[in-house]
């Protein structure tokens, strides 16, 4: 009886260990970020780099998306999106607050969806 319980316990631990998603130290991520100009680019990238674990951040003005390389053991995509939204730019599923958006320079006020 003890052997059966021990085998079942070891099997359960093995299954749960395999079911956990592995976190990458160099995960490439992309998502849309609202913006218009070079000032937006600097602000967006600075906000992304303010999150510990962001290794690379490059916002593309033409495509309105950001390309990141992040260390998932230190941050999540949502952490970066929140930081970018905090400076006035809608990022992925996270929208900037109306107050912060209204404080953006006139040329930086992008069309919000």
CATH number at residue 35: 3.30.70.100
Provide the pLDDT for residue 8. 62
Q: Quick check: is 3 in a domain?
A: no
Provide the pLDDT for residue 66. 98
Task: State the chain's mean pLDDT as an integer.
Answer: 89
Question: CA 4, CA 26: separation in Å to the nearest integer?
Answer: 41
Q: Quick check: is 41 in a domain?
A: yes
Q: Is the pLDDT of residue 17 over 60?
A: no
Q: Quick check: is 77 in a domain?
A: yes
Q: In what order do the strands lie in the sheet with 65-70?
A: 27-32, 65-70, 54-60
More reliable by pLDDT, 26 or 7:
26
Residue whose tokens read 């730019």: 89
Q: 89: closest CA among 26, 24, 27, 57? A: 57
The alpha carbon of 68 is separated from its chain's Cα centroid by a whole number of angstroms, namely 8
Domain count, the chain: 1
In 10 A of CB 68, how many CB atoms? 23
The alpha carbon of 75 is separated from its chain's Cα centroid by a whole number of angstroms, namely 8
Q: Quick check: is 2 in a domain?
A: no
Q: Quick check: is 10 in a domain?
A: no
Provide the pLDDT for residue 113. 73
pLDDT digits (tens, 9 = 90+) for 60-109: 999 999 999 999 999 999 999 999 999 999 999 999 999 999 999 999 99
Q: Quick check: is 83 in a domain?
A: yes
Provide the pLDDT for residue 25. 87
Q: Quick check: is 44 in a domain?
A: yes
Q: Is the pLDDT of residue 27 over 80?
A: yes
Q: Is the pLDDT of residue 24 over 60?
A: yes
Q: Quick check: is 87 in a domain?
A: yes
Query: Are 58 and 65 within 8 A, CB to CB?
Result: no
**Structural domain for 91, as ranges:** 22-108
């Amino acid at each position: 009886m003890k052997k059966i319980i021990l085998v079942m316990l070891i099997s359960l631990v093995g299954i749960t260990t395999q079911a956990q998603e592995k976190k990458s130290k160099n995960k490439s991520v992309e998502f849309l970020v609202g913006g218009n100009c070079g000032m937006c680019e600097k602000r967006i990238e600075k906000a992304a780099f303010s999150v510990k674990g962001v290794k690379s951040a490059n916002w593309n003005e033409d495509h309105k998306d950001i390309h990141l390389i992040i260390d998932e053991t230190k941050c999540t995509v949502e952490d970066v999106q929140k930081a970018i939204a905090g400076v006035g730019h809608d990022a992925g599923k996270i929208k900037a607050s109306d107050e912060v958006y209204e404080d953006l320079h006139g040329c930086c006020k992008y069309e919000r969806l």
